Amino acid sequence: MKHRGAIASGHPLTSAAAEEILRDGGNAFDAIIAAHFTACVVEPVLASLGAGGYLLAEPGDGPCRVYDFFTQTPRNQRAEGLDFYPISADFGTIHQEFHIGRGSTAVPGSVRGMFEIHRDLGSLPMRRLAEPAMRHARDGVTLNAMQAAIMNIVSPIYLATDSAREVFASRRLSGATLQEGERLVQPVLAETLEALATEGDRLFYEGDIAQAIVARNARGGLLTLEDLANYRVERRRPLRLRYRDAELMINPPPSSGGVLIGFALALLDRLPAGRRTDPGLVGRLAEVMATTNKARVDTLARGADSLSHLLDADLLEQYRTQVMQHHYCSRGTTHISVVDGDGNLASMTVSNGEGCGELVPDTGIMLNNVLGEEDLNPGGFFRWRPDTRMTSMMAPAALHTPRGRAVLGSGGSNRLRTAILQVMLNLVDHRMSIEEAVAAPRIHLEHGTLNLEPGAVASGLDQLQQVFGDVREWPEQNLYFGGVHSVWLAGSEFHAAGDARRGGCGIVLGR
């Protein structure tokens, strides 16, 4: 059963790294570690050794588990004297403010996460898993259209300091980040990857890299050697939910994304599936999104510990009634999915926020700016509880249906949960293939605006406008609607669907 499997990710080289490892006899967990290291090189805005995330792992011969290696708040909490400032990201139709600087960095978990996963589930040496990433960092990669566009959106971050400009500034266009077709070369990051693969994660959390991080943060930052040395990966049981004839395993609290997807599915579970593009069904799905947003605000106002109560039967019935009574009865993240020939499933979502704007000296690593993410700090900046695992929308998942098993997840800030939800509905309610489910048009309701991709509704747009008021039809599919990179296993048959909205690439071995 070796050399068989499927991979989906946000970059052809990320997927190719996983393929290389599977062909070399590695398992799905080896492959996803290699893919993550490579994503840190070829998807630099979305993934980093200074980031955090989650892996949902379902070994073919063991129980499903979640590795929580997301960021942790520092032990030292203060708002004065920090290097912490806003920038404006240009998304074309809107501008969004992010905060960056040394004071925006939370304790990163990605490096420890990869090593803990490897210790538990890996089979090949860590140095072998780092080889594709080391090669691409040393030799350089040609920036594709998607990565150039993403970097351009947040260019004020990647041009914020001399250390960032040295790596990410365009050589042919003054005052801009690297353009499509230019080479991104990161020899210092290659050396760091090699050192980590040789010496282990203590180098990052207690050794020379830790010293460099803290020396940098002494001037306007919050991280200390104690923060780094005490970082731990949390192993959690996944949230297990039923939806119609399917079973979902997804990221549990303190992350909020999995619970909110489960909440939306529970609202829909007793309602008829309907025709996917019918305006009544589209309106009902939008109303479920609105109700889920309200439930999130209501719950987080009582604290993140209240998240699990969203799935209580009585509370669900109250929210479901609100949906039925309606007129219709109705940020920098990337994802990798891998399945291997032994039936091991791996679903990993990671985020660096957008990056803090500065590289740690002599490492090539840009740390996260998660403390500067408004979505992750609903109570306001620097009001977080010290030394606490942060919450997130990230929701790597596995879906078991009578037709087969899917591994999926998405990037896209708060849009990722509506993207994952819709792909699940396409698989379960509409019996689509994984390729069709990922490619199908999506909707998203936010701040009172119902956003529609082309073809999301067959007719009846006037009805939707009467109910929701502000309805925006997008001219084409867009990365705004997430990137649900997914794989499918049915018996001995494999499928992979990289979401084109975010430059996705799917690879099947031994078809």
**Catalytic residue ranges:** 333
Strand order in the sheet with 5-9: 234-236, 65-68, 52-58, 345-351, 333-340, 5-9, 505-509
Is the C-alpha dihedral spanning 246, 251, 257, 263 positive or negative? positive
Q: How many CA atoms lie within 13 A of 243 on its CB side?
A: 30
Query: CB 424: neighbour CB atoms within 10 A?
Result: 26
* φ/ψ bin of 283: left (φ > 0), alpha (ψ from -120 to 50), beta (otherwise): alpha
Helices (H), 301-354: 313-324
Tell me which residue of 486, 489, 424, 481 sits closest to 455, measured CA to CA: 481
- Helix (H), strand (E) at residue 93: none
Q: Is 77 helix (H, G, I), strand (E, B) or coil?
A: coil
Query: CB 166: neighbour CB atoms within 10 A?
Result: 10
φ, ψ of residue 170 to 5 degrees: the values are: -65, 140
Q: CA 248, CA 240: separation in Å to the nearest integer?
A: 6
Q: CA 398, CA 334: separation in Å to the nearest integer?
A: 17
- Helix (H), strand (E) at residue 121: helix 110-121
Pairing of strands 95-100, 85-90: antiparallel
